[in-house]
Amino acid sequence: MSARPYRLIRSPRARRLTLRIDPEHGLEAVVPERYSEARARRDVEAFIATRLKWIDRSLAEVTSRRTALGTDGRLAVGGLIPYAGRPHHIVVGAGGSITALNGEIQIPEIIAADPEVVRRRLLSWLRRRARAIAEQMISVYAAEMKVAPTRLRIGDQSTRWGSASGDGTISLSWRLVLAPPSCFEAVVVHELAHLRASGHGARFRAVVERHLPDEAARMRQLQRLAPALSAVR
Ligand SMILES: [Zn+2]
């Protein structure tokens, strides 16, 4: 009846049939222990058929969260951090500078022995990458949106991804470089739009949606990833 695979769990404490999403095992159906196997399967499958939307949405959410939380956030050799939205292992490479390649961030051997130096060099590299990418995006969108930002600040605002001030300064968190580029882009467009309209009213929404129609969905994705991004230190 339903095509969604699930694990059946019998529980002496369950009074009725419930569905839940386990981060590791996916969809689980919990039934009272006294149910026969046949009754359990029949009831569960009928119930699943009425909850397909919820199941699919919840499974997608758990999957996206797991990808993000698969990282440990350690800026150290052997650490695993998100970069451009994908997990990257920090390894010692043959080159003389830090580079990101195929799911790895390679650091020069010459600095690898000192954890404090590794961390400091990685942090400044991430900030430089954030600035370079932000500058590219701003040059494309500022022209398109007919705004003229005066200055770009790359900071580490822990509570917000970006801000725009009256004098035309755009401030962005370097942690955006850890997020998927689509999310980074959404914050850039959002802040540039503030140079046209303050607040989040209809005028602001109209500017944003003309240039990036799915900005709101991208911002929601960024919020879901926030724990994994702020865990990098
Ligand atoms: Zn805003």
Contact between 70 and 87 under an 8 Å Cβ cutoff? The reply is: yes
- Average pLDDT, integer, range 21-36: 86
Distance 203 CA to ligand 1 centre (A): 12
Using CA atoms, how far apart are residues 71 and 180, in angstroms rounded to an integer?
14
Overall pTM > 0.75: no
Distance 160 CA to ligand 1 centre (A): 10
Distance 194 CA to ligand 1 centre (A): 7
| Extents of the domains making up the chain | 7-68, 115-230
How does DSSP classify residue 99?
Answer: E
Distance 163 CA to ligand 1 centre (A): 7
Residue 67 has pLDDT above 60, yes or no: no
Distance 107 CA to ligand 1 centre (A): 36
Fold of 115-230: Zincin-like (3.30.2010)
Q: What are the φ/ψ torsions at residue 12 (nearest 5 degrees)? A: -65, -20
Distance 124 CA to ligand 1 centre (A): 27
Per-residue pLDDT tens for 157-197? 767 899 999 999 999 999 999 999 999 999 999 999 999 99
Distance 204 CA to ligand 1 centre (A): 9
Note the pLDDT of residue 24: 65
Distance 169 CA to ligand 1 centre (A): 14
- Average pLDDT, integer, range 221-225: 91
Cβ-in-10-Å burial (0-12, 13-18, 19+) of 7 comes to: exposed
Contact between 149 and 170 under an 8 Å Cβ cutoff? The reply is: yes
Binned at pLDDT 50, 70 and 90, residue 113 comes out as: very high
Note the pLDDT of residue 59: 84
- Average pLDDT, integer, range 88-102: 94
